[in-house]
A and B are shown apart, each in its own frame.
Chain A
Amino acid sequence: MSGHPSTYEPKYAATRWLDQRLPIIRMGADFMTYPSPRNLNYWWTFGGILTLCLVSQIITGIILAMHYVPHVDMAFDSVQRIRRDVPFGWLLQPMHAVGASMFFLAVYIHMFRGLYYGSYKAPREMIWILGCVIYLIMMATAFLGYTLPWGQMSFWGATVITGFFGAVPVVGESLQQWLLGGFSVSNATLNRFFSLHYLLPFVIAGIVGLHVWAMHHAGQNNPIGVEPKSKKDTLSFHPYYTVKDGFAVVLFLLVFAFFVFYQPDALGHADNYIEANPMETPAHIVPEWYFLPFYAILRAVPDKLMGILLMIGAIAVLFVLPWLDTSKVKSMRFRPLARRFFYIFLVACFILGWCGAETPSDMVFTVGQKLGVSDLGGYLASIGAEFPSGENVKFIEDQTRAFTADALAACQSELAAGHALPEYCSQTPQGLNFVWLSRIATFLYFGFFFILPILGLVEKPKERPESITKAVLGEA
């Protein structure tokens, strides 16, 4: 492991025996004494927090699966039974549902930390890529799991998301039917979603193992991005970081517990308390909050396939990030220009989340109204005229155009005179709607990844400290 010499010495005959055959205790002991940079801040505690989230989800999930019934007629009832009659079901079910949100909250902070401090750069590309794979499978798992309670949002969310596959050229329809196990979301779909929802967390756990292995091999990054050079630059993982992570974990649990005990429904949607009904589409189909930014990117594009490609691109671009960033400097602390773009990127992500929750045609803000003619027939009736008719198409077109202009003028004069607007007039609010806001934010999102290669070449980074120890003592 990264050339860090093992200090473990088996004390008993049994551990000596085991150490020669399977040095698993040695591995654990070496992990505990792993030299970690001494300047890691609280943003570095989210790795431990995420491990806790995964373990919590798996344990609560296994118990919930003992009581849950994956059948379209019984799924919703079985969740109610868990909340009402299963011992501690009232605790386990919200822990699992809120736990998903907490998991994503932590993973987003963890990812933004990696972005800010350049943790994806050589020699840590594999840590980053494995992290992206984990994130991708997490999204799949969360989506599959959200289907299981079989509420209205479960059903219609599953219908919308599986509909994406139908947009694939040529094979789309067959692919979609193969995934659903039928022509629409049905019992076959629910069964396979349950099966996969149970499988994927263990895949995540496996990749987490690789993620941690790669991290122990390449070493942890740190807030100044200068690699440890001497023993003085590092501290043993235990007790220094076990205790720091422990403190952060408890703070995180306070937030977690607040939601579980006092606001278990705040992060969900009321419609999911209505049993799935394939004959009744909800007025607004909204995904869970952690998918909202991608939902906004999807809806920013009028074409379905292009929207899906852009949404996939938003995640795919993360995989190639290590090669997009051309700067040798890791930490944004020393990259004033890149840091500015990072903050713009961060804000763009939040705006996208906001757009995803709103109706696209709704206005963000309005600047005045645009006057129009909504009912030309009404205007003609009001002045006693009739629609132009006859064989001459050009004549009809000209007349219609002239009448429309007259009607608009009438609307304007009525408005100017301060009268009530006649019914044939319409007023459309002008300003920025959420489609356009999401387009701007999407542009900023991808813009960050396009500007990164250039930034590394043109930017003059600030002077970096020689070593971690010097930085620590200099700051203190």
Chain B
Amino acid sequence: MKTVMKKTLLIAATSLAAITGVGLGVAYAAGGSSDYEMKHVHWHFNGPFGTYDRAAMQRGYQVYREVCSSCHQLKFLSFRHLGDKGGPYYDEAYPNPNDNPYVKAFAADWTIQDIDLDTGDAIERPGIPADRFPAIYDNAAAAAASNNGKAPPDLSVMAKARTGGADWLYNILISYDKDDVFYNKAYGGQMAMAAPLSDGMVEYADGTEATVDQMAKDVTEFLAWSADPKMEVRKQTGTATMIYLLILAILAYISYKRVWRNVEH
């Protein structure tokens, strides 16, 4: 029994060592070269039981709507996603997010380019929950032309698209130089985007003070959700799966001992 357990542990340890070893190697390779030390935030969504902080996400959406959305799109998101389970405006009373009054109101707040099906004319109409977040610029060239030659990237998966993830996003937002609005310490140089946030820029409905740090945290929470909207259900399923597998492992081990009980090996 002892030797078997030892062997089992050895196998498990070896596999894990192999994976983490490689993982660390890759992470190390991808690290930045600047001297800036990333501030690590203890996010509400960290850890195996982490969930998104709903209030922070809602404030984050406000920051996105009032600040970021003048240049950055969320092209993989529809308005209805805001009311999905795990989303910032999910309400149990509205299992279908298309009925959610918040979602409807937010959608209607945007103008959507459409075609009038009777006349064929190009029209503008208020958004509905089924609409995607619209493009901000007509095309990439126009986007680049109005933003110092660099088109503002889409933000849907931004919280996953840089090494460091959500921490990177937050650090970028709080690391602009006070005198040079384009110089960013976390980026390690001049960015095409000038410092987007300043204290008191938005007025939070819940009375939270809108400091740069607070807004950066909130919008990061929102964009972390936007990049991984199914994280909560994934982690919950993970917990159930791990418990199931652990019990199964114990049962399998007992069966193994029983089947082999009379066999020297």
Residues of chain A having any CB pair with chain B under 8 Å: 38-39, 41-43, 77, 80-81, 83-84, 90-91, 94, 101, 105, 108-109, 235, 239-240, 243-244, 246-248, 250-255, 257-262, 264-267, 269-271, 273-274, 284, 286, 289, 292, 350, 353-354, 357-359, 472-473, 476
Sample 5 A-B pairs with CB under 8 A, ordered by A number.
A108-B18, A248-B11, A251-B8, A254-B246, A284-B30
Choose among B21, B28, B161, B238 the residue that contacts A350 (Cβ–Cβ < 8 A). Answer: B21
- Give Cα A428–Cα B28 distance, bound, in whole angstroms: 22
Minimum CB distance partner of A263 in chain B: B23
Q: In the assembled complex, how far is the CB of residue B151 from the closest CB belonging to chain A, in whole angstroms?
A: 11
CB <8 Å contact, A265 and B12: no
| B248 lies within 8 A of chain A by Cβ | yes
Tell me which residues across on chain A come within 8 A of B28, comparing CB atoms. 357-358
CB <8 Å contact, B234 and A261: yes
Considering residues A266, A270, A286, A359, which has the most beta carbons from chain B within 10 angstroms of its beta carbon?
A: A270
Tell me which residues across on chain B come within 8 A of A270, comparing CB atoms. 30, 160-163, 165
Q: In the assembled complex, how far is the CB of residue B229 from the closest CB belonging to chain A, in whole angstroms?
A: 6
CB <8 Å contact, A250 and B245: yes
Considering residues B8, B16, B249, which has the most beta carbons from chain A within 10 angstroms of its beta carbon?
A: B249
- Give Cα A81–Cα B25 distance, bound, in whole angstroms: 31
Among B63-71, B177-185, B203-211, B256-264, the stretch in contact with A: B256-264
- Give Cα A77–Cα B154 distance, bound, in whole angstroms: 12
Residues in B122-153 with C-beta less than 8 Å from chain A: 153
- Give Cα A114–Cα B26 distance, bound, in whole angstroms: 28
Tell me which residues across on chain A come within 8 A of B100, comparing CB atoms. none
Tell me which residues across on chain A come within 8 A of B26, comparing CB atoms. 269, 286, 289, 357
| B237 lies within 8 A of chain A by Cβ | yes
Choose among A91, A235, A248 the residue that contacts B263 (Cβ–Cβ < 8 A). Answer: A235
- Give Cα A41–Cα B227 distance, bound, in whole angstroms: 43
- Give Cα A157–Cα B28 distance, bound, in whole angstroms: 19
- Give Cα A260–Cα B241 distance, bound, in whole angstroms: 11
A247-B252 contact given A84-B76, A239-B259, A254-B246, CB 8 Å threshold: yes
List 19 additional A-B contacts (Cβ < 8 Å) besides A240-B259, A244-B260, A357-B25: A81-B76, A90-B234, A91-B237, A105-B15, A246-B252, A247-B249, A247-B253, A251-B11, A261-B235, A261-B237, A264-B234, A266-B23, A270-B163, A271-B161, A274-B153, A357-B26, A358-B28, A473-B264, A476-B264
Task: Give B213-235 as 1s and 0s: 1 = Cβ < 8 Å from A's Cβ atoms.
Answer: 00000000000000101100111
Tell me which residues across on chain B come within 8 A of A84, comparing CB atoms. 76-77, 81, 229-230
Task: Give B7-23 as 1s and 0s: 1 = Cβ < 8 Å from A's Cβ atoms.
Answer: 11001101110110111
Tell me which residues across on chain A come within 8 A of B163, comparing CB atoms. 270
- Give Cα A358–Cα B26 distance, bound, in whole angstroms: 8
Choose among A90, A357, A476 the residue that contacts B233 (Cβ–Cβ < 8 A). Answer: A90
Q: In the assembled complex, how far is the CB of residue A118 from the closest CB belonging to chain B, in whole angstroms?
A: 20
Tell me which residues across on chain A come within 8 A of B156, comparing CB atoms. 80
Choose among B7, B153, B252 the residue that contacts A42 (Cβ–Cβ < 8 A). Answer: B7
Q: In the assembled complex, how far is the CB of residue A344 from the closest CB belonging to chain B, in whole angstroms?
A: 17
- Give Cα A261–Cα B239 distance, bound, in whole angstroms: 8
| B82 lies within 8 A of chain A by Cβ | no
Q: In the assembled complex, how far is the CB of residue B86 from the closest CB belonging to chain A, in whole angstroms?
A: 10
Tell me which residues across on chain B come within 8 A of A473, comparing CB atoms. 264
CB <8 Å contact, A254 and B25: no
A273-B157 contact given A235-B263, A261-B234, A359-B29, CB 8 Å threshold: yes
Tell me which residues across on chain A come within 8 A of B161, comparing CB atoms. 270-271, 273-274
A255-B241 contact given A39-B265, A265-B160, A289-B22, CB 8 Å threshold: no
Tell me which residues across on chain B come within 8 A of A255, comparing CB atoms. 12, 15-16, 19
Tell me which residues across on chain B come within 8 A of A109, comparing CB atoms. 14-15
> Which 4 A/B pairs are nearest by Cβ-Cβ distance?
A261-B238, A90-B230, A273-B161, A247-B252
Tell me which residues across on chain B come within 8 A of A269, comparing CB atoms. 26, 30
CB <8 Å contact, B245 and A472: no
Tell me which residues across on chain B come within 8 A of A284, comparing CB atoms. 29-30
Q: In the assembled complex, how far is the CB of residue A132 from the closest CB belonging to chain B, in whole angstroms?
A: 21
Tell me which residues across on chain A come within 8 A of B29, comparing CB atoms. 284, 286, 357-359
Tell me which residues across on chain B come within 8 A of A101, comparing CB atoms. 19
Q: In the assembled complex, how far is the CB of residue A270 from the closest CB belonging to chain B, in whole angstroms?
A: 5
| B95 lies within 8 A of chain A by Cβ | no
- Give Cα A239–Cα B258 distance, bound, in whole angstroms: 11
| B96 lies within 8 A of chain A by Cβ | no
A240-B245 contact given A267-B23, A270-B165, A472-B265, CB 8 Å threshold: no
Tell me which residues across on chain A come within 8 A of B157, comparing CB atoms. 80, 273
Tell me which residues across on chain B come within 8 A of A354, comparing CB atoms. 21, 25
Tell me which residues across on chain A come within 8 A of B11, comparing CB atoms. 42-43, 248, 251
Q: In the assembled complex, how far is the CB of residue B145 from the closest CB belonging to chain A, in whole angstroms?
A: 16
Minimum CB distance partner of B159 in chain A: A273
Tell me which residues across on chain B come within 8 A of A252, comparing CB atoms. 15
| B242 lies within 8 A of chain A by Cβ | yes
| B188 lies within 8 A of chain A by Cβ | no
| B48 lies within 8 A of chain A by Cβ | yes
CB <8 Å contact, B256 and A247: yes
| B255 lies within 8 A of chain A by Cβ | yes
CB <8 Å contact, A243 and B237: no
- Give Cα A274–Cα B259 distance, bound, in whole angstroms: 52
CB <8 Å contact, B15 and A243: no
CB <8 Å contact, B248 and A250: yes
CB <8 Å contact, A42 and B8: yes
CB <8 Å contact, A258 and B242: yes
Q: In the assembled complex, how far is the CB of residue B187 from the closest CB belonging to chain A, in whole angstroms?
A: 13
- Give Cα A173–Cα B99 distance, bound, in whole angstroms: 58
Tell me which residues across on chain B come within 8 A of A258, comparing CB atoms. 242
Q: In the assembled complex, how far is the CB of residue B76 from the closest CB belonging to chain A, in whole angstroms?
A: 4
Tell me which residues across on chain A come within 8 A of B242, comparing CB atoms. 254, 257-258, 261
Minimum CB distance partner of B154 in chain A: A275
CB <8 Å contact, B30 and A243: no
- Give Cα A262–Cα B238 distance, bound, in whole angstroms: 7
- Give Cα A255–Cα B14 distance, bound, in whole angstroms: 12
